[in-house]
Structure 1
């Protein structure tokens, strides 16, 4: 039995709206095609500064939104799980758009394996990362990777955000993921050296491939352009 195939789509630095458009376009293909023809795609991206809130908007008002926008960041409410977080340059964002029937038809299994992917990646940096009762991946009480996913008809969207060399000061203006008394960290902070997205990405892909027991293949340039052209349509 062959392993599930996942196509890797790299976008570079984009607006958050472009990322939403791209996810929407890819997930729409599932309803248009025979299920067996749906292509699993792992989007790797990096966002311009943006604060996002999930389906729970606890403790954030219009005034809070205006304040965060005044800092020079965008602000979006989405249909992912989780509370408020920040995305910005220096953060590796991964959106796996996959059919869980090709893997394990369980959102709980899926989130657990996303966490295992990041834990394994951190081990490659000799960092002891763990999970807690709170979603995401932690080093002690410092969150290094936030997660918020959405699933419909076993097709996933949204995903994870791993802090590489992101400016952590952006998180000072919020209570990340609604968790008081805890802080945010990055690979750069933990290792006391600059750890870029370009250094981290190959390790992430290797961990993802091993954890999800799948094949990864890079999309060729012409297909990448096909998808990225669509992400610009409604930005």
Structure 2
């Protein structure tokens, strides 16, 4: 049986606004072509070029918090994804799959589980066997009591957007200015911290793509960025 195809678009280091604009492009493209086919959408990947705090549908950042975070030199944005506030920045792999779940035979819940499984598999491929998903409200992937990968998605008319943020060599001090994902008493970690060496986004990309194809049971087709 032929596996569904997903377009791979790697933006490299890019502003968060560029990723959101490209996501909107792919959302319109999929919404305009609802007919069944072998292509299921696009996998949009980037490393944020600068620090960004984002809020989700379950809660954003107050005007006072926004002012405080912007004073640190960070961008602050509201988003349409699920979840609460989190941080994106250099050293982090951002993955936004814009997918028609019907073409992959997935429901929203299994899509989120597949994102978690993808991040767990990536950690395994990098030699970290203790990574695991946890039940709600602890969405994401964890090493012990610290989160290494945050997940927040949006889904409308069976088409997903947003996705996951995997800490590779992220400066974790940025997370100290918020309560990440609204979870008090938990911390964050990164591949670099867990493996005790510098692990860049470029280094983990091949393993991540393997993990994505395994968990989503699809074939990735490279496509140049439209920039």
> In the TM superposition, what is the alpha-carbon distance from 1:147 to its structure 2 partner?
0.4
Q: What is the TM-score normalised by the length of structure 2?
A: 0.94
Q: Distance in 2 between matches of 1:90 and 1:105?
A: 30
Relative to its length, the structure with more helix (as a share) is: 1
Does the aligned pair in 1 maintain the 2:85–2:181 contact within 8 Å? yes
Report what 2:79 is aligned to: 78
- Aligned partner (choices 171, 175, 184) of residue 171 of structure 1: 175
> In the TM superposition, what is the alpha-carbon distance from 1:32 to its structure 2 partner?
2.3
Q: Which deviates more from structure 2 when the two are superposed, residues 84-93 or residues 95-104?
A: 95-104
Secondary structure of the residue aligned to 2:36 is: helix
Report what 1:24 is aligned to: 24
Secondary structure of the residue aligned to 2:70 is: helix
Report what 1:8 is aligned to: 8
Q: Distance in 2 between matches of 1:82 and 1:176?
A: 10
Q: How does 1:1-235 map to 2 (within 5 A)?
A: 1-36=1-36, 40-47=41-48, 48-57=50-59, 60-127=61-128, 128-133=130-135, 134-219=138-223, 221=224, 224-225=225-226, 228=227
Aligned CA RMSD, in angstroms, stands at: 1.3
Cα deviations by residue, 1:146-171 (Å, 9 ceiling, x for unpaired) = 00000111111000000000100100
Q: Distance in 2 between matches of 1:193 and 1:28?
A: 41
> In the TM superposition, what is the alpha-carbon distance from 1:125 to its structure 2 partner?
1.9
Does the aligned pair in 1 maintain the 2:10–2:44 contact within 8 Å? yes
Q: Distance in 1 between matches of 2:3 and 2:161?
A: 21
How many residues align? The count is 222
> In the TM superposition, what is the alpha-carbon distance from 1:39 to its structure 2 partner?
5.2
Q: Distance in 2 between matches of 1:35 and 1:51?
A: 36
Structure 2: gaps of 5 or more residues: none
Q: Distance in 2 between matches of 1:13 and 1:117?
A: 22
Relative to its length, the structure with more strand (as a share) is: 2
Structure 1: gaps of 5 or more residues: 229-235
